[in-house]
Amino acid sequence: MKRQEIEELFYGKRHQERRFTQDFPILPDVWFAYAEDEHEDRDENGRLPLLLTPHNTSDAGTLAGALRRRLAAEDITTGRPQILYNESVVLARFSFHELLRIALPLSDWWKRVVATASKQQWPREEIVKLAHSVGEHKPGRRFASGDPKLLKKFIIIVGAIECDRNGNPQPAKATSDAAT
């Protein structure tokens, strides 16, 4: 994807820019790096180096251990991603899929916006079910999990990047809020 395309997913068109990233656990530059066809730091398995900051109630060693446990539960066929830590941050090399399946579900944001705090696994069927409920959500009605607008934006961004990575770029109107 071109950087301008993904910036429009985050901020909207130039004349309708809106700030949305402050409540999101992944900075825009990380999304931009995964959206690029060729990134200078990407390894042969499509992994990029990420600095992960633990929640203020945890520490880097605990976060690294949780990442390793989640990684062990996933079916990784291209070698184990690197996970290192010091006293304040974790360095992990993750593919786009690994970022979404391993790291993101450990975030406080995921627990608040996507899943209940007690949910340990997040099978594909549950993700599809939630995506459908977001697409069908009507303003003013109670939503089962978090902020439906923020969740819808997340689905649009992930979907656009993944479609483009699979050689199926979506037209601009397919990534709009109305077409989620």
Q: Domains in the chain: how many in total?
A: 1
Q: What per-residue confidence (pLDDT) applies to 5?
A: 79
Secondary structure of the chain in HEC code, one letter for each residue: CCHHHHHHHHHCCHHHCCCCHHHCCCCHHHHHHHHCCCCCCCCCCCCEEEEECCCCCCCHHHHHHHHHHHHHHCCCCCCCCCEEECCCCEEEEECHHHHHHHHHHHCHHHHHHHCCCCCCCCCHHHHHHHHHHHHHCCCCCCCCCCCHHHHHHHHHHHHHHHHHHCCCCCCHHHHCHHHC
Q: What per-residue confidence (pLDDT) applies to 65?
A: 96
Q: What per-residue confidence (pLDDT) applies to 168?
A: 79
Low-confidence ranges of the chain (pLDDT < 50): 117-118, 173, 175-180
Q: What per-residue confidence (pLDDT) applies to 180?
A: 45
The domain of 82 spans 3-179
pTM here? 0.74
Q: What per-residue confidence (pLDDT) applies to 16?
A: 55
Q: What per-residue confidence (pLDDT) applies to 115?
A: 65
